[in-house]
């Protein structure tokens, strides 16, 4: 039998993923996803040198006592807590698992984040491949499907994945320990979308009426709910599915089709509405919506239009990236700049509705971009920032996909010209190198709190008092109180009503023994915010240090009247009562502290000491045992020998 000769050239009409001899012209989608995921992991390795920063990392990690035990009490707290302004039990659980493995070593938390981002990148490559293959089956005439050998699918998916994995805009979501919720939300968002594509592809064998019994559909719903339980931003996914149904999957061709698709998405919509309502209530409860009271809906819409365009510009030219973008004060349609933003949105929308071949790819991408960005555009304003790099983590997939389509188009236009294809390859390589360098540089900004806030101050020296406040707190933690006071003073100069800066400057003065200056700062904070319980507590602590016990008790009384559940107020008031010799009242305050926080070890120990002074040995021993069980070694010794040395039993 004669052997077939291997052709010297590969015919252009053969798919690169399936050559006749079983080989491949380009990597398979799976191999491509793994390679780009590993590249992403390697580029982000410098993040392992980063520590925690004093921007929410205390709330989520190093100051969070709840994540230190994986037990029933923790899981009950994780699924019911709203103190961070969100319902995200999956995020809490991920931190608890990290703590069980790494303790408080930040390297482990950053390693987990890098791994999740690398997996997300691989999923983006895989999902993009699935969507393009499906679209080409349904729309073979489209620009992205008419290229020789269908090389566009792998090229487009590869470029999309590289941009997603290495773009500097995504550093905030990966290098900031507190943004684990972003990564987890995206992970399960992408898994849900992958299962949804699988479900749609199998509809010939499983009619839509039986969607509630279809395994792929149910897995898509389950992944979506887990995504919501990681971060509320996933609420847009049901609308994304409708867009795909209409423009990629051809499932919506009439009004009756649309109604059927709406019914199919009902479980997703219900979950979205419930979680959205919980999140809005939680944000209101912690006072995270101050801008809602000071900005009009029209102003917020204008700022939202600015953010839509600026995100696109930063994807194109990723320079001047900031952890905190201040809310603009001059946002109005009367401004030529803001009018330009609105006109650009109108122009892009008009282009996407045109009859051109490019518009067929642009319209679904543009709609998905807007829909996924909508929850964080600030129309329902949370916080005092106008935009954030972390908000673009998921919405960036669409624009990156268009960039991949453009590269594959240029590659096809190059034809057999080696020079032209080398130009395309060189351009892509240069972009990847530049992005990788910018990403590594951006990672270093998150190394310490000082570096983080110094970067913000360097870029925006006069408009972000929070940057000076947080850097001052970092200096205070280092016991560099002179620098801390300078930063707090600058924050107050920018915003004289910044009660947090006044409070922290007071603490720095106390640390330096400057009690009168501290009292002045606390008084100034209370003049701005009369119900500021922390200021009363801190002022009481100054009086306590000076042994002015009656004044201290009066301050703590005011604090607990405002916030009855402030354990620190009861603990400090107990010390003041103890200083006055009012043992029974001190015991009462320690008991209240324990009632509010049963895990407060020092309260058990201090109450035990008071019981001992009254000769109530049994109750003292019980409290010593409690303190011992919580790690207070002196409590262990006294639990065994509750009588003072030399006393008769």
Residues 99-119 pLDDT 10s? 999 999 999 999 999 999 999
Q: Alpha carbon 31 to chain centroid distance?
A: 29
Tokens 């969070």 correspond to 64
Backbone dihedral region of 71: left (phi > 0), alpha (psi from -120 to 50 degrees) or beta? beta
The Cα–Cα gap between 369 and 514 comes to: 54
Compute the residue count for the chain.
Answer: 649
- Which pLDDT score is estimated for 16? 39
Is-contact 113 40, C-beta < 8 A?
A: no
pLDDT at 179: 94
pLDDT at 20: 34
The CA distances from residue 535 to 170, 396, 476, 489, in Å, are 38, 43, 18, 17
The owner of tokens 């029209």 is 298
Give the whole-angstrom CA distance, residue 386 versus residue 493.
22
- In the predicted model, residues of the chain with pLDDT beneath 50 are 1-26, 144, 146-149, 205-206, 292-293, 645-649
543-550's contacts with Cβ under 8 Å and 24+ in sequence apart are 544/572, 544/575, 544/576, 544/579, 545/510, 545/515, 546/515, 547/579, 549/576, 549/577, 549/579, 549/580, 550/580
Predicted local distance difference test score (pLDDT) of residue 142: 56
Residue 521's pLDDT is 95
pTM for the whole structure: 0.86
DSSP E strands in 146-253: the ranges are: none
Beta bridge partners of 387: 325
CA distance 185 to 181: 6
Range 451-640 classified under CATH 1.25.40.10: yes
* Domain ranges for the chain: 29-444, 451-640
């Amino acid at each position: 039998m004669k052997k077939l000769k291997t052709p010297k050239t590969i015919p252009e009409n053969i798919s690169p993923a399936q050559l006749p001899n079983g080989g491949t012209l380009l990597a398979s989608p799976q191999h491509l996803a793994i390679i780009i995921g590993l590249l992403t992991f390697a580029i982000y390795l410098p993040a392992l040198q980063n520590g925690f920063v004093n921007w929410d990392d205390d709330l989520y990690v190093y100051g969070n006592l709840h994540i230190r035990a994986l037990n029933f009490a923790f899981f009950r707290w994780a699924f019911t807590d709203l103190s961070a302004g969100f319902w995200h039990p999956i995020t809490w659980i991920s931190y608890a698992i990290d703590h069980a493995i790494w303790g408080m070593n930040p390297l482990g938390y950053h390693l987990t984040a890098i791994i999740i981002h690398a997996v997300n990148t691989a999923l983006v490559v895989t999902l993009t491949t699935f969507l393009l293959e499906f679209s080409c089956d349904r729309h073979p005439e489209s620009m992205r499907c008419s290229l020789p050998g269908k090389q566009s699918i792998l090229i487009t998916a590869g470029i999309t994945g590289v941009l997603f994995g290495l773009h500097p805009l995504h550093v905030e979501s990966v290098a900031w320990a507190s943004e684990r919720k972003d990564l987890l939300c995206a992970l399960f968002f992408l898994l849900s979308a992958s299962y949804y594509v699988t479900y749609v592809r199998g509809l010939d064998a499983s009619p839509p009426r039986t969607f509630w019994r279809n395994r792929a559909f149910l897995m898509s719903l389950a992944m979506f709910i887990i995504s919501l339980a990681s971060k509320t931003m996933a609420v847009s996914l049901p609308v994304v599915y409708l867009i795909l149904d209409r423009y990629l999957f051809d499932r919506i061709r009439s009004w009756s089709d649309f109604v059927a698709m709406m019914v199919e998405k009902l479980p997703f919509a219900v979950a979205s509405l419930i979680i959205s309502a919980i999140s809005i209530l939680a944000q209101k409860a912690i006072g995270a919506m101050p801008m809602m009271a000071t900005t009009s809906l029209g102003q917020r819409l204008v700022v939202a239009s600015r953010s839509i365009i600026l995100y696109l510009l930063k994807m194109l030219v990723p320079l001047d990236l900031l952890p905190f973008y201040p809310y603009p004060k001059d946002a109005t349609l009367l401004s030529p700049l803001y009018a330009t933003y609105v006109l650009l949105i109108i122009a892009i929308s008009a282009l996407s509705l045109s009859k051109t071949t490019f518009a067929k790819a642009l319209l679904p991408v543009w709609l998905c971009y807007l829909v996924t960005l909508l929850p964080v555009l600030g129309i329902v304003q949370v916080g005092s920032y106008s935009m954030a790099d972390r908000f673009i983590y998921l919405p960036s997939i669409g624009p990156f996909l268009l960039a991949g389509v453009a590269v594959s188009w240029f590659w096809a236009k190059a034809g057999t010209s080696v020079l032209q294809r080398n130009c395309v390859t060189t351009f892509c390589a240069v972009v990847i190198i530049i992005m990788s360098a910018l990403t590594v540089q951006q990672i270093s900004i998150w190394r310490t709190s000082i570096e983080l806030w110094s970067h913000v101050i360097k870029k925006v020296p006069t408009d972000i008092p929070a940057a000076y406040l947080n850097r001052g707190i970092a200096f205070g933690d280092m016991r560099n109180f002179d620098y801390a006071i300078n930063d707090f003073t600058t924050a107050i100069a920018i915003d004289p009503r910044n009660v947090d800066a006044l409070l922290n400057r007071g603490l720095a003065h106390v640390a330096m023994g400057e009690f009168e200056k501290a009292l002045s700062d606390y008084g100034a904070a209370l003049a701005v915010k009369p119900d500021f319980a922390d200021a009363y507590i801190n002022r009481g602590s100054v009086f306590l240090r000076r042994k002015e016990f009656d004044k201290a008790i009066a301050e703590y009384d005011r604090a607990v009247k405002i916030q009855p559940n402030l354990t620190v107020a009861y603990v400090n008031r107990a010390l003041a009562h103890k200083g006055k010799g009012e043992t029974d009242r001190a015991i009462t305050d320690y008991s209240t502290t324990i009632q509010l926080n049963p895990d407060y070890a020092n309260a058990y120990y201090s109450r035990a000491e008071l019981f001992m002074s009254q000769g109530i040995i049994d109750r003292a021993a019980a409290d010593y045992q409690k303190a011992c069980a919580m790690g207070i070694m002196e409590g262990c010794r006294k639990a065994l020998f509750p009588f003072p040395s030399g006393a008769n039993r």
